[in-house]
Amino acid sequence: MSHAEVTIDGLPEHYLTRRPEVDDAPAVTALLAAHQQAAKGSAGADPEAVVVQLAGTGSWTRRQVLVEDADGRLLAWLSVHDRAAGRTLVEVTVAPDHDAADELAGHLFAAGERYARDIGRMRGLRTTLLDSGAYADDPRQQRWLADAGYRHTRTWLQMTRPVSSEEASSLPGPREGVTVRPVDRHDDGLPLAQDLQAVHRVLEESFQDHFSSYRESFPEFVMRLREDPGHRWDHWWLATVEGPEGPVPAGAVVSSVLRPDADGIPGSYVDYIGVHRDARGRGVAKALLHQVVGDAARRGRNRVGLEVDADSPTGADGLYSSMGWVTDYRTQSWHQDLDL
């Protein structure tokens, strides 16, 4: 297959720009790993996830450009993700040893804004939010974001917790009146629609009072989670509490499989956990977390990771710390409001 060239306005002619293909996955994975190593001192790029974003189902909602030098060496990757109505994720990754990285990053952030405008107009929007990020210890990426008009809006703790084999059966169950169960599934393993919709609804309502909350439709939510190579339908759980007319959805957790670590052992990751405001204070979050940890132990995994807002109004970081999670590193959200 021939490479599909693309044009980025103002980019010097000695750069070659094109759309990615599946064969580019090893080079893009190496670029991400080099960036992570330079920015936070360790690398964890997932080759399977890169393939999905470059040329799999994840590419359907992304506009992407690879930048190479005259010798064909990959220098940068731009990804603009149509995440949901009114929110576009702009990711710019430039090789840490590129001499003209500042100039190249500036052109790519400008191109990302143009792609975001196209996406917003396609959706018929008047405004959209550009969402990007940086590692907390990466002043280079932070400088590029500030120069492109983004503002630092939040810091996130990337936390991890070891899992022991004993926790397969030793963790306490939910409090009285609280039930945690997997989403119901058909005989072929696919989940029942009403349970998936209940998980989506309770998560949306749980996050309404959180930072930068926005509405993600049910199809957008399910499609995006299904893109993750670590996604499993048997990693979705729904918590209910007893109401006057029977069980009422009170919380939900969606987790996934983390790729094996240096010892070859996989882990679990909490993609989403939320408790409805009407059910808070009843131990629902702790019951959901115990479910994920116990499940990881039963599957022979050695850790559970998650992300939490460093300034969470619910004090979730304190709950996680009390249950054994520790901060591995920090990331930042950077936002820009774009008038279309």
Asked if residue 268 lies in contact with residue 301, where contact means CB atoms within 8 angstroms, the answer is yes
pLDDT greater than 60 at residue 2: no
- Distance, in Å, from the CA atom of 233 to the CA atom of 196, rounded to the nearest integer, reads 10
Report yes or no on 9 lying in a domain: no
What's residue 213's pLDDT? 62
Asked if residue 44 lies in contact with residue 102, where contact means CB atoms within 8 angstroms, the answer is no
pLDDT greater than 50 at residue 76: yes
Tell me: do 114 and 200 sit in the same domain: no
pLDDT greater than 60 at residue 64: yes
Chain segment 228-271, per-residue pLDDT in tens: 999 999 999 999 998 887 888 999 999 999 999 999 999 999 99
pLDDT greater than 80 at residue 138: yes
Asked if residue 325 lies in contact with residue 288, where contact means CB atoms within 8 angstroms, the answer is no
Contacts of 222 (CB under 8 A, 6+ apart): 196, 200
Chain segment 145-170, per-residue pLDDT in tens: 999 999 999 999 999 999 999 999 99
Rg (CA), the chain: 21
Return mean pLDDT, the chain: 94
Q: Which one-letter DSSP state was computed for residue 61?
A: G
Tell me: do 190 and 118 sit in the same domain: no
Tell me: do 123 and 180 sit in the same domain: no
Q: Cα separations (Å) of 114 from 109, 117, 167?
A: 9, 5, 50
Stretch 63-72: mean pLDDT, rounded? 97
Q: Where are the alpha helices (DSSP H) in 123-217?
A: 139-147, 167-170, 193-206
Q: Which one-letter DSSP state was computed for residue 148?
A: T
What's residue 1's pLDDT? 42
Backbone angles phi, psi at 160, to 5 degrees: -140, 155
Phi-psi category of residue 140: left, alpha or beta, with phi > 0 → left and psi -120 to 50 → alpha:
alpha
Look at the chain and report how many structural domains it folds into.
Answer: 2
Tell me: do 202 and 291 sit in the same domain: yes
- Distance, in Å, from the CA atom of 244 to the CA atom of 146, rounded to the nearest integer, reads 52
Instruction: Give the residue among 23, 121, 125 at the shortest CA–CA distance from 66.
Output: 23
Tell me: do 229 and 94 sit in the same domain: no
Chain segment 277-335, per-residue pLDDT in tens: 888 888 999 999 999 999 999 999 999 999 999 987 777 889 999 999 999 999 999 99
Tell me: do 140 and 178 sit in the same domain: no
Report yes or no on 11 lying in a domain: no
Q: Cα separations (Å) of 160 from 325, 327, 336?
A: 5, 6, 30
Report yes or no on 230 lying in a domain: yes
- For 82, the 3-state DSSP assignment is strand
Report yes or no on 297 lying in a domain: yes
- Residue 57, amino acid: T
- For 76, the 3-state DSSP assignment is strand
Stretch 57-66: mean pLDDT, rounded? 96
Asked if residue 74 lies in contact with residue 32, where contact means CB atoms within 8 angstroms, the answer is no
Pairing of strands 303-309, 87-94: unpaired
Report yes or no on 2 lying in a domain: no
Q: Is the Cα dihedral 118, 123, 125, 128 positive or negative?
A: negative
Report yes or no on 3 lying in a domain: no
What's residue 212's pLDDT? 60
* Residue that finishes a domain, picked among 117, 149, 181: 149
* Residue that finishes a domain, picked among 93, 114, 149: 149
Tell me: do 28 and 102 sit in the same domain: yes
What's residue 104's pLDDT? 98
Report yes or no on 338 lying in a domain: no
Q: How many residues does the chain have?
A: 340
Residue 23, CA atoms < 13 Å, CB-side half-sphere: 3
* Residue that finishes a domain, picked among 120, 149, 178: 149
**Which CATH number belongs to the domain containing residue 127 in this structure?**
3.40.630.30
What's residue 5's pLDDT? 83
Termini Cα distance of the chain: 36
Tell me: do 99 and 55 sit in the same domain: yes
Chain segment 3-14, per-residue pLDDT in tens: 688 999 999 999
* CA dihedral angle for residue 318, residue 324, residue 330, residue 335, rounded to 10 degrees: -50
Domain membership of residue 41 as a residue range? 16-149
